[in-house]
Amino acid sequence: MQICDYPNWLINNTYCGNRAVNRLSFQGLLYCDPKTRMPLDSWFFRDYDTLKKAADEIKTTFPEGAEVWDFACSNGEETISIKSLLEDPKYKVIGYDSSTSALKLAKKGIYTVFSNWYDSFLLPNEDPQGEEKVLKDKFYRIMEETFPQREDRYINNKATYFDIKKFFVNFQEKFFRISPQKLEQIDIRKGNINCIENYRNQDKVGAVFFRNALYQMVGNDLNETIEQRKYFNSRSVNNKKEIIEKFVDRIHRKLENGGIFVIGDHIKDHLFLADYNLSDDEVVLFKDTPFFDIGDKKHVCASNLKLFKESPLKTSLEKNNRFIPVGFSKTWLTYGGNKITVPTVWKKIR
Tens of pLDDT, residue by residue over 274-302, are 887 788 788 776 655 554 455 555 545 55
Q: 271: domain CATH number? A: 3.40.50.150
Q: What is the pTM of this model?
A: 0.82
Are the C-beta atoms of 101 and 76 separated by less than 8 Å? Answer: no
Is 135 part of a structural domain of the chain?
Answer: no
**Helices 77-85, 131-142: inter-axial angle, 10-degree rounding:** 110
Q: CB count, 10 Å around CB of 285?
A: 17
Is 12 part of a structural domain of the chain?
Answer: yes
Segment 2-27 shows an average pLDDT of 34
Q: Is it the case that residue 184 has pLDDT exceeding 80?
A: yes
Can you list the positions of beta strands (E) in 211-304?
255-263, 283-286
Tens digits of residue pLDDT in 55-106:
999 999 999 999 999 999 988 999 999 999 999 999 999 999 988 888 888 8
Are the C-beta atoms of 197 and 250 separated by less than 8 Å? Answer: yes
What order do you get walking across the sheet with 143-146 strand by strand?
111-114, 173-178, 143-146
Q: Is it the case that residue 1 has pLDDT exceeding 50?
A: no
Name the pairing type of β-strands 143-146 and 2-4: unpaired
Segment 186-193 shows an average pLDDT of 93
Calpha distance 102→26 (Å, rounded): 9
Segment 334-347 shows an average pLDDT of 81
Is 124 part of a structural domain of the chain?
Answer: no
Higher pLDDT: 176 or 13? It is 176
Is 26 part of a structural domain of the chain?
Answer: yes
Is 179 part of a structural domain of the chain?
Answer: no
Task: Name which of 96, 77, 74, 81 is nearest 27 in CA terms.
Answer: 74
Calpha distance 215→103 (Å, rounded): 22
Mention every residue, 6+ apart, whose C-beta is less than 8 A from residue 223.
35, 36, 289, 290, 291, 292, 302
Domain of 248 in residue numbering reads as 2-107+187-348
Task: Name which of 306, 305, 303, 323 is nearest 314 in CA terms.
Answer: 323
Is 29 part of a structural domain of the chain?
Answer: yes
Is 53 part of a structural domain of the chain?
Answer: yes
Can you list the positions of beta strands (E) in 110-150?
111-114, 143-146
Is 119 part of a structural domain of the chain?
Answer: no
Give how many domains the chain has, as a whole number: 1
